[in-house]
Amino acid sequence: MSHNVEVEGVTMAKSYSRERALFRDAANSAFGRQRDVIESAGKLLSELTQLAGRKLVQKTPLAPKRSGIGGFIATGLAVAIVAGAAYVAWRVLRTDDNAWIDDEFDVD
Protein backbone atom coordinates (compact mmCIF):
# COMPACT_ATOMS: atom_id res chain seq x y z
CA MET A 1 0.00 0.00 0.00
CA SER A 2 2.84 2.40 0.68
CA HIS A 3 4.14 1.74 -2.80
CA ASN A 4 0.82 2.95 -4.25
CA VAL A 5 0.95 6.12 -2.17
CA GLU A 6 4.47 6.83 -3.33
CA VAL A 7 3.52 6.32 -6.99
CA GLU A 8 0.49 8.58 -6.61
CA GLY A 9 2.65 11.21 -4.89
CA VAL A 10 5.21 11.14 -7.70
CA THR A 11 2.44 11.35 -10.30
CA MET A 12 0.88 14.31 -8.50
CA ALA A 13 4.25 16.03 -8.21
CA LYS A 14 4.91 15.60 -11.93
CA SER A 15 1.42 16.86 -12.75
CA TYR A 16 1.91 19.83 -10.43
CA SER A 17 5.28 20.56 -12.01
CA ARG A 18 3.78 20.46 -15.53
CA GLU A 19 0.84 22.69 -14.55
CA ARG A 20 3.16 25.11 -12.80
CA ALA A 21 5.36 25.34 -15.92
CA LEU A 22 2.29 25.94 -18.12
CA PHE A 23 1.04 28.63 -15.75
CA ARG A 24 4.48 30.27 -15.62
CA ASP A 25 4.73 30.28 -19.42
CA ALA A 26 1.25 31.78 -19.77
CA ALA A 27 2.04 34.47 -17.20
CA ASN A 28 5.32 35.35 -18.91
CA SER A 29 3.57 35.53 -22.27
CA ALA A 30 0.83 37.79 -20.88
CA PHE A 31 3.42 39.99 -19.19
CA GLY A 32 5.34 40.29 -22.46
CA ARG A 33 2.21 41.31 -24.37
CA GLN A 34 1.27 43.80 -21.66
CA ARG A 35 4.76 45.30 -21.73
CA ASP A 36 4.59 45.65 -25.53
CA VAL A 37 1.21 47.41 -25.32
CA ILE A 38 2.44 49.81 -22.63
CA GLU A 39 5.62 50.61 -24.57
CA SER A 40 3.70 51.32 -27.79
CA ALA A 41 1.17 53.46 -25.90
CA GLY A 42 4.04 55.41 -24.33
CA LYS A 43 5.63 56.02 -27.73
CA LEU A 44 2.30 57.13 -29.18
CA LEU A 45 1.66 59.47 -26.25
CA SER A 46 5.13 60.95 -26.59
CA GLU A 47 4.65 61.58 -30.30
CA LEU A 48 1.22 63.13 -29.73
CA THR A 49 2.59 65.38 -27.00
CA GLN A 50 5.39 66.61 -29.25
CA LEU A 51 2.97 67.16 -32.13
CA ALA A 52 0.48 69.03 -29.93
CA GLY A 53 3.26 71.16 -28.47
CA ARG A 54 4.49 72.15 -31.92
CA LYS A 55 1.01 73.06 -33.13
CA LEU A 56 0.22 74.98 -29.95
CA VAL A 57 3.35 77.08 -30.26
CA GLN A 58 2.72 77.72 -33.94
CA LYS A 59 -0.96 78.63 -33.61
CA THR A 60 -0.88 80.84 -30.53
CA PRO A 61 1.37 83.85 -31.01
CA LEU A 62 1.75 86.14 -28.04
CA ALA A 63 -0.81 88.91 -28.07
CA PRO A 64 0.54 92.44 -27.81
CA LYS A 65 0.05 93.94 -24.37
CA ARG A 66 -2.38 96.79 -24.40
CA SER A 67 -3.93 98.73 -21.60
CA GLY A 68 -7.65 99.24 -21.62
CA ILE A 69 -10.16 101.16 -19.56
CA GLY A 70 -10.39 98.29 -17.05
CA GLY A 71 -6.79 98.79 -15.96
CA PHE A 72 -7.36 102.47 -15.34
CA ILE A 73 -10.56 101.80 -13.36
CA ALA A 74 -8.81 99.15 -11.23
CA THR A 75 -5.90 101.51 -10.54
CA GLY A 76 -8.31 104.29 -9.56
CA LEU A 77 -10.19 102.00 -7.18
CA ALA A 78 -6.94 100.83 -5.59
CA VAL A 79 -5.80 104.43 -5.05
CA ALA A 80 -9.20 105.32 -3.52
CA ILE A 81 -9.07 102.33 -1.14
CA VAL A 82 -5.54 103.18 0.00
CA ALA A 83 -6.51 106.84 0.52
CA GLY A 84 -9.59 105.81 2.52
CA ALA A 85 -7.56 103.49 4.74
CA ALA A 86 -4.98 106.23 5.32
CA TYR A 87 -7.73 108.73 6.26
CA VAL A 88 -9.32 106.30 8.71
CA ALA A 89 -5.93 105.58 10.30
CA TRP A 90 -5.22 109.32 10.58
CA ARG A 91 -8.62 109.95 12.24
CA VAL A 92 -8.05 107.14 14.73
CA LEU A 93 -4.47 107.98 15.61
CA ARG A 94 -4.61 111.81 15.62
CA THR A 95 -4.21 113.55 18.94
CA ASP A 96 -7.33 115.03 20.39
CA ASP A 97 -6.71 116.97 23.55
CA ASN A 98 -10.34 116.74 24.64
CA ALA A 99 -10.32 112.95 24.46
CA TRP A 100 -7.80 112.49 27.26
CA ILE A 101 -8.51 112.66 30.99
CA ASP A 102 -6.44 115.10 32.97
CA ASP A 103 -4.07 113.30 35.38
CA GLU A 104 -3.81 116.17 37.87
CA PHE A 105 -6.16 115.82 40.80
CA ASP A 106 -6.94 118.54 43.31
CA VAL A 107 -6.62 116.79 46.65
CA ASP A 108 -7.01 119.42 49.35
Q: Is the pLDDT of residue 5 over 60?
A: no
Q: Is the pLDDT of residue 13 over 80?
A: no
Amino acid identity, position 107 = V
Task: Parse the chain into domains and list their residue ranges.
Answer: 2-60+68-94
Q: Is the pLDDT of residue 104 over 90?
A: no
* pTM assigned to the model: 0.32
| CA distance readout (Å), 73 to 6, 67, 68, 69, 79 | 97, 11, 9, 6, 10
| CA distance readout (Å), 38 to 31, 44, 46, 48, 78 | 10, 10, 12, 15, 55
Q: Is the pLDDT of residue 97 over 80?
A: no
18-74 per-position pLDDT tens digit: 888 888 888 888 878 888 888 888 888 888 888 777 665 566 666 777 778 888 999
Alpha-carbon gap, residue 35 to 29, rounded angstroms: 10
* Torsional sign, CA 49, 54, 55, 59: positive
